[in-house]
Structure 1
């Protein structure tokens, strides 16, 4: 999953450590999120969105893979 977390963090003048403290996670978690090595669980995604006053989909972009067809 792609995200705009690094840009948002830097725009707010936050270090990875400061963002981690505000989210209640480790700095390593913030780094893994920013580099795309880790996708956040839904509660964390909501905390991030709330912190930046944005909807989740403004921060996180799903992969380009199309959704599978719905089964009937």
Structure 2
């Protein structure tokens, strides 16, 4: 079960990013991170801080809880 929330956040981030027509590279550039970092977040390999989660949610225009909820 360890890391399950990371994977949920990653899947939700990818889904919402694609719904908004952002490439991984364009989204990463806007967030000020490298594309490989964003890819590892989307694969659930990175443990985000709450501050980073809020920043991502704000840019996507969603409630941070939308990134945390299993779909």
Q: Same fold (TM over 0.5)?
A: yes
Q: Identify the structure with bigger relative contact order (alpha carbons < 8 Å, sequence gap 6+).
A: 2
Unmatched 5+ stretches in structure 1: 63-72
Q: Compute the TM-score of the two structures, normalised by the length of structure 2.
A: 0.77
Normalized per residue, the structure richer in strand is 1
Q: Compute the TM-score of the two structures, normalised by the length of structure 1.
A: 0.76
Aligned residue-pair number: 62
Runs of 4+ in structure 1 over 2 Å off = none
**Who wins on radius of gyration, i.e. which is larger?**
1
Unmatched 5+ stretches in structure 2: none
RMSD: 1.5
Normalized per residue, the structure richer in helix is 2
